């Protein structure tokens, strides 16, 4: 079998071997000791032709219920949002996606400028001074914010609210273990961080307080009160934020956040079974030289022409090695580009409009499910997610919803035992009134009105 | 093609223009101030650009024209494996059944995704000779840290809390010592010998009861196979340490050797290198980690298992190091890697390494007369030249790299590994034709002659790019990290 990605012909091979002065390619592998050389044939699946492979991958894809065919009310950190067609078209410009990290700025001005624009837009939304060029995702970005806080304050205790995404908290705990940091979780009261609980654990040993805004239950945390508690103790205030929500909500920077992190997935990035997404990381000027990951800066060339470069690299692993501020190397550059294009397409007006539609639709959904006799768990203000109490296990409810063309909400009992039979529903601008009404109807009687999948 | 000047998107903005379209609100509107306290409602708009759709398309098209990718031209960037990124991978990753599924859907509704992941992790275990693989780490460095955390958990489970050191060779990638630090270890450097391989005597000197692991890239960053790998494994294992394989250079050994057979206990692979997930301008990557049986209990959770032809995640893993990433890894990159593995099969993958190694050796021998070659044995998939001969003429390796830009090439990796003066690290990959290699070689020879005859031509390069050399010192001294509107 010949392979379409391998251009070497027998003639090429012969000429190359002659130049090297050897008879066979095997001679090039003689330095691999005999007893570690692999002599068998790899026991992996046989190669498929292009059409056969498309068929097999289509078969696998078709086994998955997707949000193009089903109306999804599943959020919990990953959302179904409007994405302009141009995002994918521009991402497929292969000068972007087949490029490496822009270490050679003269031939990487496109990527560098796009990331510079991304950094600017993240700063605008979060109200922060500096944003880096991206992290793996919201969860690892949050964990790195914890590490930065500990390094900056030389303190060992990280306080995190239980209303922060459960999986992000798990990631934080794994990172903390490596650094011998203690993670202290604060209870939730009526859907937001318990302020008394927070006061009782925050002290002069606290490196930071981490909260999510809007939080995992969709609720808007009292950032003003939380900021006072942590800053009185001279720790860092870390806020994890859905950046789309910041089109409508006061940015964390206005509340005195030191570090704002989150995931830019709502901007033009596919849900993609959880990744790749795009962590963002934004800080105050004071922390500029402590930021993990790559930063793009503006400068001039020898002729005084504006250009962009990777900068402040003395923070990074390839220069500072074991003293680097983080080990991150590869980041999520292409997804930062996607987010940048999507933010540009939405623009000043669109980001506000979409954020407000999320608020309106989620509140309409809350109203109709309440009218159908379901109770909503928390009473505070919320963005595009809210919690309902179910009459039967969430898994059963979701099965029924699926039969009616709906991907239901997140079963909160999976990560909060006290919230058994509670479901987190997300309502984005993509959900129509008809879909929301259908959801409420099914939830009411658990009887299917009509299958609305297509 | 317009490449001269490209405004920032903010400079194109004009109030009133839009680039999006969503339906009008179809639910009864309520006064937002009645549902959200005014302190929490944004009063100043985020200053995102106001531009039309065509303006956006022109903007990003112009930016792409100011960027070099593998599709634009040869990209012999050592240690990065800049091979062709197949188009079918991009198509498949965009199937709605892969791109539009939510990670928290019921497992029964995503069996196809789970099957793909299971088949990928099984294939990677076979390719690396390991017993089990996790797809959770997002990139190579993330995999390194994950692996080290598992090694730490393994030692601690054995009641061994004093292993504070991780050994890395002086030629190691910067991520190795950085990952060791994040995992809470101190890194100790082991020297290379005159042949560019780990110095066994020095290894014996630094290995003791405090060592948690040795991290090694094999072939190493000089493109040389560590011939004494079994002796090294023995030294480390006898002291109770573990062996960590940095898979950055796996493109050299597919089907020829497997880390698991060399004595490695933990392996990470960079799917965005060896397995064609594109580099995307710096990411996203994917850094699966494979382990030997004794480390399986420590894998990050959840672990994907197959029971009676049903795929599911196992969460009850009491000894797991925990999660290293929300959800299940960079699934979209994993889809691409699986598509690639299915394109190549066992024979294709072996051919990949054979051709990659032959390409590298061919280039090395042709360039040897013109540049210093510090290590003269056969190389694997990449090799390192030294620009010290040209440096004596006043032409630095950086100048050579910049001159290559004039000929439409992305330069090799330069000044790495740190152990080689004026290093030029070249990795052609298997997807380049002999003609491409020959053209590049001719240009390298031309530059070596220019260094003798017209050094200023090289020193002042590049001459043809959209910007000339940029002032990096000022960029770092007075950082401008975002656009500020002129007032």
Q: Is A204 on the interface with B (CB under 8 A)?
A: no
Q: Is A62 on the interface with B (CB under 8 A)?
A: yes
In this structure, the answer to whether residues B332 and B376 fall within a common structural domain is no
Rounded average pLDDT over A300-322: 91
The three-class DSSP label of residue A13 is helix
Contacts of A361 in chain B (CB under 8 A): 25, 27
In this structure, the answer to whether residues A159 and A254 fall within a common structural domain is yes
Q: What integer pLDDT is reported at residue B1 of this predicted model?
A: 45
Q: What integer pLDDT is reported at residue B364 of this predicted model?
A: 98
Q: How many helices (H) and strands (E) does chain B have?
A: 15, 12
Q: Is B159 on the interface with A (CB under 8 A)?
A: no
Q: Which two tokens stand for residue B340?
A: 């690639």
Whether residue A93 and residue B61 make contact (CB cut-off 8 A), yes or no, is: yes
Give the separation between CA B147 and CA B140, rounded to whole angstroms.
10
List pLDDT tens digits, range A164-196: 999 999 999 999 999 999 999 999 999 999 999
- Provide the CA B95 distance to its chain's centre, in angstroms: 25
Q: What integer pLDDT is reported at residue A323 of this predicted model?
A: 85
Judge whether A158 lies within some domain. yes
Q: What is the DSSP letter of B67?
A: B
For A28-93, give the secondary structure using H, E and C: HHCCCCHHHECCCCCCCCCCCCHHHHHHHHHHHHHCECCCCCCEECCCCCCCCCCCCHHHHHHHCC
In this structure, the answer to whether residues B39 and B118 fall within a common structural domain is no
In this structure, the answer to whether residues A142 and A164 fall within a common structural domain is yes
Closest CA to A282 of A134, A113, A153, A164: A134
Q: What is the DSSP letter of B314?
A: E
Q: Is B321 on the interface with A (CB under 8 A)?
A: yes
CB B329 within 8 A of CB B137: yes
**Tally of domains in chain B:** 3
Rounded average pLDDT over B278-292: 97
Among B60, B75, B198, the residue to mutate for chain A (most A Cβ within 10 A): B60
Q: What integer pLDDT is reported at residue B487 of this predicted model?
A: 60
Judge whether A335 lies within some domain. yes
The three-class DSSP label of residue B167 is strand
- pLDDT > 80? residue A139: yes
Give the separation between CA B392 and CA A269, rounded to whole angstroms.
50
What CATH number does the domain containing B465 carry? Answer: 3.90.1150.10
Rounded average pLDDT over A27-56: 97
Whether residue A167 and residue B82 make contact (CB cut-off 8 A), yes or no, is: no
CB A70 within 8 A of CB A405: yes
Give the separation between CA A356 and CA A75, rounded to whole angstroms.
17
| Range of the structural domain that residue A315 is part of | 85-341
Contacts of B480 in chain A (CB under 8 A): 297-299
| Range of the structural domain that residue B424 is part of | 361-473
Residue that the structure tokens 């159908």 belong to:
A372
Among A138, A272, A297, A407, the residue to mutate for chain B (most B Cβ within 10 A): A272
Sorting pLDDT into bands at 50, 70 and 90, what band is A391?
confident
Angle between helices B140-157 and B175-182 (to 10 degrees): 40
- pLDDT > 60? residue A281: yes
- pLDDT > 80? residue A71: yes
What CATH number does the domain containing B220 carry? Answer: 3.40.640.10
Rounded average pLDDT over B81-98: 98
Of A315, A341, A367, the domain-final residue: A341
Rounded alpha-carbon distances, angstroms, from residue A269 to A42, A335, A354, B334: 36, 7, 16, 16
B453–chain A nearest CA distance, Å: 24
What CATH number does the domain containing A175 carry? Answer: 3.40.640.10
Contacts of A410 in chain B (CB under 8 A): 104
Judge whether B482 lies within some domain. no
ipTM of the complex: 0.97
Q: Is A114 on the interface with B (CB under 8 A)?
A: yes
In this structure, the answer to whether residues B111 and B238 fall within a common structural domain is yes
Contacts across the A-B interface (CB distance below 8 Å): 695
Rounded average pLDDT over A414-423: 96
In this structure, the answer to whether residues A292 and A358 fall within a common structural domain is no
In this structure, the answer to whether residues A258 and A379 fall within a common structural domain is no
Estimate the share of chain B in helix, then strand, then coil, as percent rounded to the nearest 5.
40, 15, 45
Q: What integer pLDDT is reported at residue A453 of this predicted model?
A: 64
Whether residue A348 and residue B47 make contact (CB cut-off 8 A), yes or no, is: yes
Nearest CA in chain A to B430: A6
Provide the chain A residues 78-107 that lie in CB contact (below 8 A) with chain B.
Answer: 78, 80, 82, 84, 86, 88-90, 92-102, 104-107
CB A344 within 8 A of CB B39: no
CB A219 within 8 A of CB A376: no
Q: Angle B297-B300-B301 (CA atoms, 0-180°, nearest 5)?
A: 90
- pLDDT > 90? residue A445: no
Q: Is A314 on the interface with B (CB under 8 A)?
A: yes
Of A280, A306, A341, the domain-final residue: A341
Q: What is the DSSP letter of A330?
A: S
Judge whether A425 lies within some domain. yes
Contacts of B270 (CB under 8 A, 6+ apart): A330, B81, B139, B140, B143, B247, B248, B250, B285, B286, B287
What CATH number does the domain containing A78 carry? Answer: 3.90.1150.10
In this structure, the answer to whether residues A408 and A261 fall within a common structural domain is no
Judge whether B146 lies within some domain. yes
Contacts of B321 (CB under 8 A, 6+ apart): A174, A177, B146, B149, B150, B152, B153, B298, B299, B300
Contacts of A412 (CB under 8 A, 6+ apart): A387, A394, A419, A420, A422, A423, A424
Judge whether A62 lies within some domain. no
In this structure, the answer to whether residues B335 and B211 fall within a common structural domain is yes
In this structure, the answer to whether residues A360 and A303 fall within a common structural domain is no
Give the separation between CA A235 and CA A231, rounded to whole angstroms.
6
Nearest CA in chain B to A345: B19
Sorting pLDDT into bands at 50, 70 and 90, what band is A448?
very low
**Tally of domains in chain A:** 2
Of B123, B329, B343, the CB nearest to A47: B343
In this structure, the answer to whether residues A98 and A215 fall within a common structural domain is yes
Judge whether B33 lies within some domain. yes
In this structure, the answer to whether residues A96 and A203 fall within a common structural domain is yes
Q: Is A18 on the interface with B (CB under 8 A)?
A: no
Judge whether B81 lies within some domain. no
Burial of B317 (0-12, 13-18, 19+ CB in 10 A): middle
Contacts of B86 in chain A (CB under 8 A): 5
- pLDDT > 70? residue A58: yes
CB B242 within 8 A of CB B235: no
Judge whether A18 lies within some domain. no
List pLDDT tens digits, range A236-246: 999 999 999 99
Judge whether B427 lies within some domain. yes
Mean pLDDT over each residue of chain B, to the nearest integer: 96
Among B58, B70, B92, B105, the residue to mutate for chain A (most A Cβ within 10 A): B105
Strand (E) or helix (H) holding A184: strand A182-186
In this structure, the answer to whether residues B387 and B309 fall within a common structural domain is no
- pLDDT > 90? residue A452: no
In this structure, the answer to whether residues B36 and B108 fall within a common structural domain is no
Contacts of B334 (CB under 8 A, 6+ apart): B116, B117, B120, B135, B271, B277, B286, B288
Rounded average pLDDT over A26-47: 96
Rounded average pLDDT over B113-141: 98
A236–chain B nearest CA distance, Å: 20
Rounded average pLDDT over B310-315: 98
Whether residue A351 and residue B48 make contact (CB cut-off 8 A), yes or no, is: yes
- pLDDT > 50? residue A30: yes
Whether residue A300 and residue B470 make contact (CB cut-off 8 A), yes or no, is: yes
Contacts of A273 in chain B (CB under 8 A): 98, 101-103, 110, 113, 327-328, 331-332
Q: Is A51 on the interface with B (CB under 8 A)?
A: no
Judge whether A427 lies within some domain. yes
Judge whether B1 lies within some domain. no
Give the separation between CA B208 and CA B238, rounded to whole angstroms.
9
In this structure, the answer to whether residues B461 and B403 fall within a common structural domain is yes
Whether residue A28 and residue B378 make contact (CB cut-off 8 A), yes or no, is: yes
In this structure, the answer to whether residues A127 and A214 fall within a common structural domain is yes
Q: Is A60 on the interface with B (CB under 8 A)?
A: yes
Q: Is B41 on the interface with A (CB under 8 A)?
A: yes
Of B177, B330, B345, the CB nearest to A321: B177
Q: Are strands A306-311 and A406-407 parallel, antiparallel or unpaired?
A: unpaired
Of A177, A327, A347, the CB nearest to B179: A327
Of B28, B48, B96, the CB nearest to A68: B96
Whether residue A60 and residue B112 make contact (CB cut-off 8 A), yes or no, is: yes
Of B9, B365, B434, the CB nearest to A8: B434
Among B15, B97, B195, B406, the residue to mutate for chain A (most A Cβ within 10 A): B97
Q: Are strands A422-426 and A385-389 parallel, antiparallel or unpaired?
A: antiparallel
Contacts of A24 (CB under 8 A, 6+ apart): A17
The three-class DSSP label of residue A106 is helix
Judge whether B454 lies within some domain. yes
- pLDDT > 50? residue B14: yes
The three-class DSSP label of residue B452 is helix
List pLDDT tens digits, range B151-185: 999 999 999 999 999 999 998 989 999 999 999 99
In this structure, the answer to whether residues A385 and A327 fall within a common structural domain is no
In this structure, the answer to whether residues A382 and A317 fall within a common structural domain is no
Of A301, A323, A341, the domain-final residue: A341
Rounded average pLDDT over A393-401: 94
In sequence order, the β-bridge partners of residue B385 are B424
List pLDDT tens digits, range A83-112: 999 999 999 999 999 999 999 999 999 999
**Dihedral sign, CA of A181, A185, A186, A188?**
positive
Of B285, B309, B343, the domain-final residue: B343
Sorting pLDDT into bands at 50, 70 and 90, what band is A315?
confident
Rounded average pLDDT over B30-48: 97
CB B349 within 8 A of CB A38: no
pLDDT cut 70: percent of chain B above it: 99
In this structure, the answer to whether residues B378 and B426 fall within a common structural domain is yes
List pLDDT tens digits, range B49-66: 999 999 999 999 999 999
**Dihedral sign, CA of A115, A116, A118, A123?**
positive
In this structure, the answer to whether residues B375 and B468 fall within a common structural domain is yes
Q: What is the DSSP letter of B40?
A: G
In this structure, the answer to whether residues B328 and B366 fall within a common structural domain is no
Judge whether A248 lies within some domain. yes
In this structure, the answer to whether residues A181 and A313 fall within a common structural domain is yes
Contacts of B316 (CB under 8 A, 6+ apart): none
List pLDDT tens digits, range A419-439: 999 999 999 999 999 999 999
Q: Which two tokens stand for residue B263?
A: 């004595």
Judge whether B483 lies within some domain. no
In sequence order, the β-bridge partners of residue A184 are A159
In this structure, the answer to whether residues B285 and B374 fall within a common structural domain is no
Nearest CA in chain A to B118: A60
In this structure, the answer to whether residues B129 and B230 fall within a common structural domain is yes
Burial of A10 (0-12, 13-18, 19+ CB in 10 A): exposed
């Amino acid at each position: 079998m010949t392979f379409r990605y391998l251009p070497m012909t027998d003639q090429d091979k012969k000429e190359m071997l002659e130049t090297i002065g050897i008879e066979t390619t095997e001679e090039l592998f003689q330095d691999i000791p005999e007893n570690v050389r692999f002599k068998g044939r790899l026991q992996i699946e046989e190669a498929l032709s292009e059409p056969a492979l498309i068929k097999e991958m289509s078969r696998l894809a078709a086994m998955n219920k997707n949000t193009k065919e089903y109306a999804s009310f599943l959020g919990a950190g990953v959302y179904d949002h409007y994405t302009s067609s141009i995002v994918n078209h521009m991402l497929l410009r292969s000068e972007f996606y087949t490029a490496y990290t822009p270490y050679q700025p003269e031939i990487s001005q496109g990527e560098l400028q796009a990331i510079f624009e991304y950094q600017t837009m993240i700063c605008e939304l979060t109200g922060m001074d500096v944003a880096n060029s991206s992290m793996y995702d919201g969860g690892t970005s949050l964990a790195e914010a914890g590490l930065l806080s500990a390094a900056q304050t030389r303190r060992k205790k990280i306080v995190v609210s239980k209303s922060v995404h459960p999986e992000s908290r798990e990631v934080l705990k794994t990172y903390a273990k490596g650094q011998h940091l203690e993670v202290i979780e604060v209870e939730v009261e009526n859907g937001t961080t318990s302020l008394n609980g927070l006061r009782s654990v925050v002290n002069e040993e606290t490196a930071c307080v981490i909260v999510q805004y809007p939080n995992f239950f969709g609720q808007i945390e009292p950032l003003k009160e939380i900021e006072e508690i942590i800053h009185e103790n001279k720790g860092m205030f870390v806020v994890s934020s859905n950046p789309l929500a910041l089109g409508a909500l006061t940015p964390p920077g206005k509340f005195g956040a030191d570090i704002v992190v989150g995931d830019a997935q709502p901007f033009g990035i596919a849900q993609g079974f959880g990744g790749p997404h795009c962590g963002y990381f934004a800080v105050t000027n004071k922390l500029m030289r402590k930021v993990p990951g790559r930063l793009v800066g503006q400068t001039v060339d020898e002729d005084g022409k504006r250009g962009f470069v990777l900068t402040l690299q003395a923070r990074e692993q390839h220069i500072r090695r074991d003293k680097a501020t983080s080990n991150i190397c590869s980041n999520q550059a292409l997804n930062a580009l996607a987010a940048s294009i999507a933010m540009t397409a939405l623009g000043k007006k669109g980001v506000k409009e979409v954020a407000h539609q999320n608020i309106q639709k989620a509140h309409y959904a809350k109203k109709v499910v309440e009218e159908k006799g379901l109770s909503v768990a928390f009473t505070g203000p919320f963005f595009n997610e809210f919690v309902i109490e179910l009459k039967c296990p969430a898994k059963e409810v979701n099965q029924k919803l699926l039969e009616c063309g709906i991907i239901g909400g997140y079963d909160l009992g999976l990560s909060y035992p006290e919230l058994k039979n509670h479901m987190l529903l997300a309502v984005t601008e993509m959900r129509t009134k008809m879909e929301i009404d259908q959801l409420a109807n099914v939830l009411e009687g658990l009887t299917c009105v009509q299958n609305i999948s297509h | 093609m317009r490449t001269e000047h490209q405004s920032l998107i903010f400079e194109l903005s004009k109030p009133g223009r839009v680039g999006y379209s969503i339906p009008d609100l179809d639910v009864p509107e309520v006064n937002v101030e009645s549902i959200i306290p005014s302190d929490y409602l944004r009063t100043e708009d985020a200053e995102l650009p106001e531009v039309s759709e065509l303006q956006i398309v022109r903007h990003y098209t112009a930016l792409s024209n100011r960027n070099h990718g593998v599709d634009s031209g040869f990209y012999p960037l050592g240690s990065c494996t800049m091979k062709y990124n197949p188009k079918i991978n991009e198509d498949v990753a965009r199937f709605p059944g892969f791109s539009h599924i939510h990670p928290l859907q019921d497992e029964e509704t995503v069996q196809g995704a789970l099957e793909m992941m299971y088949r990928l992790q099984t294939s990677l275990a076979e390719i690396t000779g390991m017993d089990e693989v996790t797809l959770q780490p997002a990139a190579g460095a993330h995999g390194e840290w994950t692996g080290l955390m598992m090694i730490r958990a393994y030692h601690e489970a054995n009641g061994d809390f004093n292993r504070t050191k991780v050994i890395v060779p002086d030629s190691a990638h910067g991520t190795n010592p950085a990952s060791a630090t994040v995992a809470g270890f101190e890194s100790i450097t082991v020297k290379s010998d005159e042949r560019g391989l780990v110095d066994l005597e020095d290894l014996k000197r630094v290995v003791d009861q405090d060592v948690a692991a040795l991290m090694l890239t094999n072939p190493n960053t000089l493109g040389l196979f560590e011939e004494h790998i079994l002796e090294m494994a023995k030294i480390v294992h006898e002291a109770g340490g573990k062996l960590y394989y940095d898979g950055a250079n796996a493109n050299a050994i597919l089907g020829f050797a497997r880390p698991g057979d060399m004595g490695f206990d933990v392996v990470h692979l960079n799917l965005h290198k060896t397995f064609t997930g594109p580099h995307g301008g710096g990411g996203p990557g994917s850094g699966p980690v494979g382990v030997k049986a004794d480390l399986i209990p420590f894998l990050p959770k959840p672990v994907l298992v197959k029971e009676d032809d049903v795929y599911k995640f196992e969460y009850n893993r009491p000894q797991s190091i925990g999660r290293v990433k929300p959800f299940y890894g960079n699934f979209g990159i994993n889809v691409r890697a699986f598509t690639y593995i299915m394109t190549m099969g066992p024979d294709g993958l072996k051919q990949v390494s054979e051709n990659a190694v032959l390409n590298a050796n061919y280039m090395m021998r042709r360039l040897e007369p013109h540049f210093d070659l510090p290590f003269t044995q056969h190389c694997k998939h990449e090799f390192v030249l030294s620009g010290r001969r040209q440096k004596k003429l006043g032409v630095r390796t950086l100048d050579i790299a910049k001159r290559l830009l004039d000929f439409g090439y992305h330069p090799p990796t330069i000044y790495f590994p740190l152990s080689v003066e004026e290093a030029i690290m070249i990795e052609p990959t298997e997807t380049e034709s002999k003609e491409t290699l020959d053209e590049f070689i001719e240009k390298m020879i031309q530059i070596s002659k220019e260094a003798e005859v017209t050094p200023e031509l090289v020193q002042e390069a590049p001459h043809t790019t959209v910007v000339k050399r940029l002032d990096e010192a000022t960029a770092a001294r007075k950082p401008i990290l975002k656009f500020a509107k002129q007032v």
